[in-house]
């Protein structure tokens, strides 16, 4: 049921297409503008992932909240009274689609970004250390933020409010917490994606830099993101079961 619901909404496909195209476009633009090879070229090529997360996050929210705003939730829960199963099915279908498309976006952006490099700068290849990991884990971040949105949608049930929580929590609150507690920066979703996942060398600060936040290793970062999504889905599922439809 959830697969049919997802694939029969044109707006869903448009949003996903824009996410993928946007990531690739950004990679090309950054590649064209790269002046020298001193930065992390892989990180540059994957910079288009960050804005794309907003789209998949919002999409995840709306997969759930649109059921409440349209009243479809009653038909859904009458059809499948097992409420945790409904949320699990949504997560599986949405998570699967965004994972596949996210990986495609990540790989194509990487290759396009590398191809756009000019001035004799050598493009990074997948066989270099950490590069494949960076590309694969960045691709996964679309899905994880999307699932976070899905869980938030089930918790909040109101589209604008849930998107507010998502954007506020992931982007804005992150800035505030980052300013107040340097150590916590490493655990914030955007930091994780930008610094732990989308890069070949997560811990970029040398031993002498005292005020540099200690970023998580790539796999630890992935684990934390998975934890956020899991908590959001878990709480969302519990609330879905307890509340009236």
Partner 1 sequence: MRTGQHPRFREGLVIEVRGLTKRYGRVLAVDALSFGLRPGSVTGFLGPNGSGKSTTMRMILGLDHPDRGSAVIGGRRYGELGWPLREVGALLEAKAFHPGRSARAHLAALAASNKIPAARVDEVLGIVGLTSAAARRAGNFSLGMAQRLGIASALLGDPPVLLFDEPVNGLDPEGIRWIRTLMRSLAAEGRTVFVSSHLISEMALTADRLIIIGGGRLLADTTVAELSTGSASLEDAFLELTSGTADFRAKDRAEERNENRASGRTS
Q: Which of 2, 40 has the CB closer to partner 1?
A: 2
* Count of other CB atoms within 10 angstroms of residue 115: 13
Q: Which of 3, 238 has the CB closer to partner 1?
A: 3
Q: Which of 128, 241 has the CB closer to partner 1?
A: 241
Q: For 196-217, where are the alpha helices, taking DSSP H only?
A: none
The DSSP annotation for 48-88 comes to GHHHHHHHHHHHHHHHHHHHHHHSHHHHHHHH---HHHHHH
Identify whether the C-beta of residue 135 lies closer than 8 Å to the C-beta of residue 27: no
Residues that bind partner 1 (CB under 8 A): 1-5, 8-11, 66-67, 70-72, 74-82, 242, 244-245
Q: In angstroms, give the least distance from the CB of 89 to partner 1.
A: 9
Q: Which of 79, 122 has the CB closer to partner 1?
A: 79
Q: In angstroms, give the least distance from the CB of 11 to partner 1.
A: 6
Instruction: Read off φ and ψ for residue 40, nearest 5 degrees.
Output: -85, 100
Distance (Å) of CA 122 to CA 33, 117, 133, 167, 199: 14, 7, 19, 36, 17
What is the C-alpha separation between 82 and 87, in angstroms, rounded? Answer: 9
Q: Which of 65, 141 has the CB closer to partner 1?
A: 65
Identify whether the C-beta of residue 143 lies closer than 8 Å to the C-beta of residue 95: yes
Q: In angstroms, give the least distance from the CB of 239 to partner 1.
A: 13
Tokens of 145: 């933020």
Q: In angstroms, give the least distance from the CB of 62 to partner 1.
A: 10
Q: In angstroms, give the least distance from the CB of 93 to partner 1.
A: 11
Q: In angstroms, give the least distance from the CB of 235 to partner 1.
A: 18
Q: Which of 80, 231 has the CB closer to partner 1?
A: 80
């Amino acid at each position: 049921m959830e697969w049919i619901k997802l694939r029969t909404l044109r707006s869903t496909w448009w949003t996903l297409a824009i996410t993928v195209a946007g990531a690739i476009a950004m990679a090309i633009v950054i590649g064209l503008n790269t002046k020298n090879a001193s930065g992390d070229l892989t990180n540059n090529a994957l910079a288009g992932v960050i804005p794309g997360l907003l789209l998949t996050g919002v999409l995840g929210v709306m997969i759930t909240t649109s059921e409440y705003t349209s009243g479809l939730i009653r038909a859904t829960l009458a059809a499948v009274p097992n409420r945790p199963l409904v949320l699990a099915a949504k997560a599986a279908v949405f998570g699967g689609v965004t994972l596949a498309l996210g990986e495609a976006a990540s790989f194509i952006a990487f290759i396009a970004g590398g191809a756009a490099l000019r001035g004799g700068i050598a493009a990074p290849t997948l066989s270099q250390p950490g590069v494949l990991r960076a590309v694969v884990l960045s691709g996964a971040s679309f899905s994880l933020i999307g699932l976070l949105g899905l869980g938030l949608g089930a918790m909040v049930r109101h589209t604008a409010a849930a998107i507010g929580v998502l954007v506020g929590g992931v982007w804005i609150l992150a800035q505030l917490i980052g300013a107040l507690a340097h150590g916590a920066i490493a655990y914030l979703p955007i930091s994780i994606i930008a610094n732990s996942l989308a890069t070949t060398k997560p811990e970029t600060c040398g031993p002498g830099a005292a005020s540099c936040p200690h970023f998580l290793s790539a796999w630890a970062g992935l684990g934390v993101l998975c934890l956020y999504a899991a908590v959001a889905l878990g709480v969302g599922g519990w609330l879905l079961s307890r509340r009236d439809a």
